Amino acid sequence: MLVLALDTATPAVTAGVVELTAGSPPRLLAQRVTVNAKAHGELLTPHVQEAMAEAGRALSELDAVVCGAGPGPFTGLRVGLVTAAALGQALNRPVYPVATPDAIALDACTGAPLLVATDARRKEVYWATYDAAGRRTDGPHVDRPAEVPAKLRQTPQRAAGEGARIYADVLGLPLVDALHPSPVSLVAVAAEELLAGARPAALTPLYLRRPDAVEPTGRKRVTR
């Protein structure tokens, strides 16, 4: 299978072309990754085009799209999901959402209990925990870093993700060099569904927060 992997749930703008074969780990053909929290909208489509060109494949050859569904900040996360949905509709291909921390956990590959924490801004982190095999055991949640240790149901031995790096002194765990999800790990999370041709879950963003914008409750007074 030829799969396009996208993620914009972290400051990294990620697009990659991955080949998936039953019985073998996903194989990266090409990728474009730029860490810029303010450029998801500008960079994602060019990254897709460049990765496809480097892989020597056309969009019409894709069998599926995999997209990180967060949790992540509103604006950046929407860019990836909308782009994935648009490509899926235009190409008539299935789009599989995956939790972004699940992919980071696979990249970390510690073989020990793990905490994945990404930057939620507002001095908070999105976090989830994983067992030694990389299976999620709790989360994702959003909290202030100082509140996370008291809420852990198990004791992680390592931490990964941009949030874990930023708040390493608060979380107090050794860091693993896995800050953002890779295209290979995104596809690996969804590999079983992809190979089985399963119907994708709804492409629903994991915001974990209510939007800041609120509907006006009354008319504004106009003065002359």
Structure confidence at residue 199 (pLDDT): 96
Element (H, E) at 158: strand 158-160
Structure confidence at residue 154 (pLDDT): 84
Distance set, CA 12 to CA 39, 44, 64, 65, 199 (Å): 9, 10, 22, 18, 28
Tell me the mean pLDDT per 10 residues along the chain, length 224. Answer: 97 98 96 95 97 98 98 93 98 98 95 96 95 94 96 93 96 95 98 97 86 53 56
- Asked whether 94 and 64 are in contact (CB, 8 A), the reply is yes
Q: What are the DSSP E strand ranges found in 1-80?
A: 2-7, 12-19, 27-35, 64-68
Distance set, CA 130 to CA 94, 112, 118, 133, 213 (Å): 27, 8, 14, 8, 33
- Asked whether 125 and 118 are in contact (CB, 8 A), the reply is yes
DSSP state, 38? T
Structure confidence at residue 215 (pLDDT): 52
Residues 145, 197: Cα–Cα separation, whole Å: 39
Structure confidence at residue 216 (pLDDT): 53
Structure confidence at residue 217 (pLDDT): 59
List, in order, residues 6 or more apart from 221 with CB less than 8 Å away: none
Structure confidence at residue 184 (pLDDT): 98
List, in order, residues 6 or more apart from 51 with CB less than 8 Å away: 4, 15, 16, 17, 30, 31, 32
How far is CA 88 from its chain centroid?
18
Residues 220, 204: Cα–Cα separation, whole Å: 34
Residues 132, 1: Cα–Cα separation, whole Å: 28
Structure confidence at residue 222 (pLDDT): 56
